[in-house]
Chains A and B, each alone.
Chain A
């Protein structure tokens, strides 16, 4: 009976909450409280301290860094409800998730859907334990928005492929252990000639060159492949299925890039708090600059409605079963708003918000400048806003291909 089952369910959740609390009390080092690792994806990995390592291993061994992934591959096997409880308790304890990166955000979910049993057993557990860094071999010098124009060629050599070509904008390529790549296995068909394969970054013939960006950082690389041997077992799905699998992965990427994931973590305190710190306020605490005050409120309202949209998409996707084209809408909205927010925060701080390096600026101010500049990438990578508009128009709205 439902009336009896419900309290039991609630008790089970309550018991899980207790389990999480006990785990956090025992395993989360209080010294790491509130630390997080927000800029890791931008700045690259810093040397992991003993405490950080201990925390990562504690989370990894339970699979709680990837809480809803199947237990058989090293995930947490938690229900969505339990995952939310875990998240709530971690937030209360000031604990961050030490397991992340592209393996968690996009490659893992895609491999779980398209990978063979052997591939899942080989690649998913190290992702869950946070031991392997993945990078993305997608864009090429002549395949940006026109991604399917990629030319990196994987020649069939019987028991392996021989890969030649160049990828670019490889995020974190200089630190990555492995690369999931889309490459050409057939030159006669633009889309059906693409395959999805996994390449060890320490294979002979792989060369990585970091690119210095306007932010002064080098989060992206050029990656060159010269006669790189890739075993056949590293082909995901069938030959020629790469475009389908690759696009699926992009849906995961977009969902994460929209602001629910990466971008939000770059954002510090609220704009309102920032404004009260940097701008003149009257005796009631109101910002004296009426124009800026209006623009902050205008932004905050739209930002809230975006967050509501992201939440709504999650709820609706539960019914629909996974990510979808709505990820294009979220990516388009979230990245634009994120940039707008960064611009507004700089305006609020005045020249104090444009410090490049050295004395006279707090770490937060300096990090904010780099994040503002880095943020310009968000409307370009993962499919530019213009590409998202094409996807929305064609796939969601059913408007025809342009001429």
Chain B
């Protein structure tokens, strides 16, 4: 755990208390059963926004708290632990695109609403099932056309940050925007979003690499959610091993299992360092592209292993819907594939290092 300041500790404790009391995995099960149109409980998200979580990376002058990325990561990690269905990551990333690339007018128009939770935003970047950096969507006379694949939180979002061949654009849900459900294993909101001459407002600032900057933030914040998930799978599995008795002894007393948990513990330590390193880099403003590769690649590697081992170490009971551990596996793969698979990230890391 990074050494936190007082403000961050309070925020983390608040998020931890809220997630475990108000939004345990049971809340995710409820969303799954009730199938709200947004793919999450709007009431729960409003509560989160009221606690200031939607505005953590938004400057104070636009209604945010500007606590920074480490703070945002702490909250997202806690929500990841309980698989809280919410558009917090998506809307934070959309806001960050506007903070980085928006004009004063665009910022004044959108950031206060994003900070208050009145507007939910999301990124619409990829056009295929794999994050590959290819963008064909085009803008002609202020009208954007193209199809975006597997857009996170598309159902609840009313503002899309869309990648077109010549940059990023803001597109409001409405005329020329249509959704087609893509139900994935994590049972969260995903959709193919088709833009057919939708009114688009260009984010002209932020430099030529604005898209990369936004994607680096997506990688790091997603990795923070994955960290919470991996931590929870580890903790739950450890508890289970300490309780389950076979051969007249608790499983935790078997050395074969002890050493596997020690391996996972080491991996988890590395994952935490990599993720916190990414959040630190964002707050410090240095070495971000490289730190983002490290954070997401480590998150992919460790959560992948953790989610498999979590089920294996639970045994048959881990295969049941009654136990939570399987949910983490199903969400894990979705996040592993988002914003860069391990192969993509290693290639990018090598390119950045010049080999």
Contacts and interface: CB of A to CB of B under 8 A. Distances in A.
B266 interface: yes
Interface in A296-318: 296-298, 300-302, 304-306, 308-309, 311-312, 315-316, 318
B265 A312 contact: no
The range of chain B's interface size is 35 or more
- Mostly, the B contact residues are helix
A396 B238 CA distance: 12
B270 A333 contact: yes
Contact of A388 (B257, B262, B297): B262
A389 B258 contact: yes
Interface string A319-349: 1000000000100110000000000000000
Contacts of B261: 392-393, 397, 399
B1, B249, B293, B354, most chain A CB atoms within 10 A:
B354
A329 B347 CA distance: 29
B3 A286 contact: no
B228 to A, nearest CB: 17
Interface residues on A, range: 35 or more
Query: Which one of B252, B270, B346 has the highest number of Cβ atoms from chain A below 10 Å of its Cβ?
Result: B270
A158 interface: no
Contacts of A297: 346-347, 349-350, 353
Given A305-B294, A392-B265, A401 B355 contact: no
Contacts of A302: 270, 298, 301
A14 interface: no
Nearest to A285: B354
B346 A389 contact: no
B266 to A, nearest CB: 5
Contacts of A293: 350, 355
B212 interface: no
Contacts of B1: 316
Contacts of B294: 301, 304-305, 308
Nearest to A336: B266
Given A333-B269, A399-B252, A389 B276 contact: no
Nearest to B2: A312
A300 B353 contact: yes
B270 A306 contact: yes
A308 B273 contact: yes
Contacts of A301: 274, 293-294, 297-298, 345-346, 349
A393 B258 contact: yes
B350 A286 contact: yes
B265 A329 contact: yes
Interface in A364-403: 386, 388-390, 392-394, 396-403
Contact of B253 (A294, A305, A388, A399): A399
A281 interface: yes
Interface in B263-278: 263, 265-266, 269-274, 276-277
B152 to A, nearest CB: 24
Task: Classify the secondary structure of A's interface with B.
Answer: helix
A276 interface: yes
Contact of A316 (B3, B250, B350): B3
A309 B355 contact: no
Interface string B236-260: 0010011000000110111101110
A211 interface: no
B72 to A, nearest CB: 19
B262 A392 contact: yes
Nearest to B267: A333
Nearest to B259: A389
Contact of A389 (B3, B263, B277, B349): B263
A58 interface: no
Interface centre among B257, B347, B355 (most CB of A within 10 A): B355
Contacts of B353: 272, 297, 300
A329 B269 contact: yes
Contacts of A249: none
A31 to B, nearest CB: 33
Interface string B56-100: 000000000000000000000000000000000000000000000
A398 B235 CA distance: 12
A389 B263 CA distance: 8
Nearest to B277: A308
Given A300-B353, A402-B258, A305 B271 contact: yes
A276 to B, nearest CB: 6
B262 A309 contact: no
A400 B349 contact: no
Interface string B1-19: 1110000000000000000
Interface in B313-355: 343, 345-347, 349-351, 353-355
Contacts of B263: 389
A400 B253 contact: yes
Nearest to B274: A305
A198 interface: no
Nearest to A333: B266
Contact of A309 (B238, B255, B273, B293): B273
A257 interface: no
A393 to B, nearest CB: 4
B262 A305 contact: no
A248 B329 CA distance: 40
A287 interface: yes
Interface in A126-170: none
A335 to B, nearest CB: 11
A16 B276 CA distance: 31
Contacts of B272: 309, 312
21 contacts: A272-B355, A275-B355, A276-B355, A285-B354, A294-B346, A300-B353, A301-B274, A305-B273, A305-B294, A309-B272, A312-B2, A312-B273, A332-B266, A333-B266, A389-B258, A393-B259, A397-B258, A399-B241, A399-B252, A400-B253, A402-B254
Given A305-B294, A308-B277, A389-B258, 7 more contacts: A272-B350, A286-B355, A300-B349, A304-B294, A308-B276, A397-B265, A400-B250
Q: Which 4 A-B pairs have the closest CB atoms?
A: A393-B258, A308-B273, A389-B262, A297-B346
Interface of A: 272, 275-276, 281, 285-287, 293-294, 296-298, 300-302, 304-306, 308-309, 311-312, 315-316, 318-319, 329, 332-333, 386, 388-390, 392-394, 396-403
